[in-house]
Amino acid sequence: MNTRLKTQKLENYPLKEHTTLKIGGSASEAYIPETVEDLYELKSALSCENLTIIGQGSNILVSSQGVNESVIFTQKLKNYELLDETTIKAECGLKSSMLAKILLEKNLSGLEFLIGIPGSLGGAVTMNSSAHGQAIEDTIESVKVFDLCSNEVFTLDKSQLKLGYRDSFVKKDKHLVLSATFKLKNDSQAKIAERMDFHVNYRKERHPSLSAYPNAGSTFRNPCPGVYAGKLLEELGAKNWEAGGAAVSDKHCNFIVNTGNATSLDASRLMYKMHSRIKETYGYDLIAEIRYLGEPTQEEKEIWQNFTVH
């Protein structure tokens, strides 16, 4: 334990069970702060250049070789408060699905789609998550951000976030979403619940089950409006393509599932095949929606250069 800090230092900490894909080696050191204040204290003692932040681990592929950087988990930063009848502020570690349930209890509409998102609110804001006509950008008012390099805390309004398709200002820079404020609309619980049921049922019918088939969500961004990566891959016959312990889901071809003992190299090789075949056939140069963390092999490094935004 690091006696200088309130947050315990966990050495050689296994990351596999902290990701929905169930892939990953160990972190040389990891921390799980209980409060935002603990996070501030912790960050002041760590280097910005050697730091990785993980929420619920839903859109990441962690290297099987492990992570040499310090890892901070935000999962315990999950407080929220109702600022007025239709405005809520929530911390980054709150599960997206839990926020949706809280809003249902409060008769507040606008983020029903979060019921089907397995990650944390911080990730949803950073990625500008969306589904079926609803998006983070529709209701967000502001975000409290922590600059991990300068240790400054500041607030960004919606325009400053530069929200786009699976993109934001936060994603491009070394920043951490601490909390987000949303302006919602009153509606009946029955109508909100009906919309939430639609999102849940849609995912059950069309997406692989996380409990049965560990996955990291959509593998690639859709190349342009109205064109879907999963549909293109299905046309290519990608269902059940395999690479070691990784396979393309037979429910949705833009999902890679861990069939039992997949490594980060297995998943990377399969992503490369998916990316290459689409580029060769349709000309689209897909961008990965999944983020790679940790120490890549040389082959993984070369693979990820093909579909990562630099």
pLDDT of residue 170: 83
4 is catalytic: no
Number of domains in the chain: 3
Beta bridge partners of 301: none
- In contact, 150 and 179? CB cutoff 8 Å: no
Chain-centroid distance of CA 295 in Å reads 19
User: Shortest CA distance to 71 belongs to which of 99, 31, 121?
Assistant: 31
In a shared domain, residues 173 and 140: yes
- Is the residue at 204 inside a domain? no
Q: Which residues make Cβ contacts (< 8 Å) with residue 101, sequence separation at least 6?
A: 115
- Is the residue at 198 inside a domain? no
Catalytic entry in 218, 249, 264, 268: 218
d(Cα 166, Cα 296) in Å, to the nearest integer?
24
d(Cα 227, Cα 231) in Å, to the nearest integer?
8
Catalytic entry in 26, 58, 166, 268: 166
| Residue 111: pLDDT over 70 | yes
Backbone angles phi, psi at 50, to 5 degrees: -125, 60
User: Shortest CA distance to 71 belongs to which of 60, 86, 84, 79?
Assistant: 60
276 is catalytic: no
Domain containing residue 124: CATH number: 3.30.465.10
- Share the mean pLDDT of the chain: 94
- Is the residue at 202 inside a domain? no
| Residue 309: pLDDT over 80 | no
pLDDT of residue 175: 87
- Is the residue at 200 inside a domain? no
Structural domain containing residue 160: 80-192
pLDDT of residue 240: 85
pLDDT of residue 173: 64
d(Cα 264, Cα 234) in Å, to the nearest integer?
23
- Is the residue at 66 inside a domain? yes
Domain containing residue 214: CATH number: 3.90.78.10
pLDDT of residue 1: 39
> 2 falls in which pLDDT band (50, 70, 90)?
very low
d(Cα 150, Cα 159) in Å, to the nearest integer?
22
Last residue of a domain, one of 73, 102, 120: 73
- For 82-94, how does the pLDDT look when each residue is reduced to its tens digit (9 = 90+)? 999 999 999 999 9
- Is the residue at 203 inside a domain? no
Last residue of a domain, one of 159, 192, 225: 192
In a shared domain, residues 57 and 100: no
- For 7-61, how does the pLDDT look when each residue is reduced to its tens digit (9 = 90+)? 999 999 999 999 999 999 999 999 999 999 999 999 888 887 789 999 999 999 9
Alpha-carbon distance values, 116 to 100, 105, 112, 174, 176 (Å): 9, 17, 8, 27, 23
- Is the residue at 199 inside a domain? no
Last residue of a domain, one of 157, 192, 227: 192
In the predicted model, what is the mean pLDDT of residues 149-166? Answer: 91
In a shared domain, residues 60 and 92: no
- For 228-275, how does the pLDDT look when each residue is reduced to its tens digit (9 = 90+)? 999 999 999 999 899 999 999 999 999 999 999 999 999 999 999 999
In a shared domain, residues 289 and 263: yes
pLDDT of residue 36: 95
pLDDT of residue 172: 65
Q: Which residues make Cβ contacts (< 8 Å) with residue 301, sequence separation at least 6?
A: none
- Is the residue at 108 inside a domain? yes
289 is catalytic: yes
Output DSSP code: residue 19. S
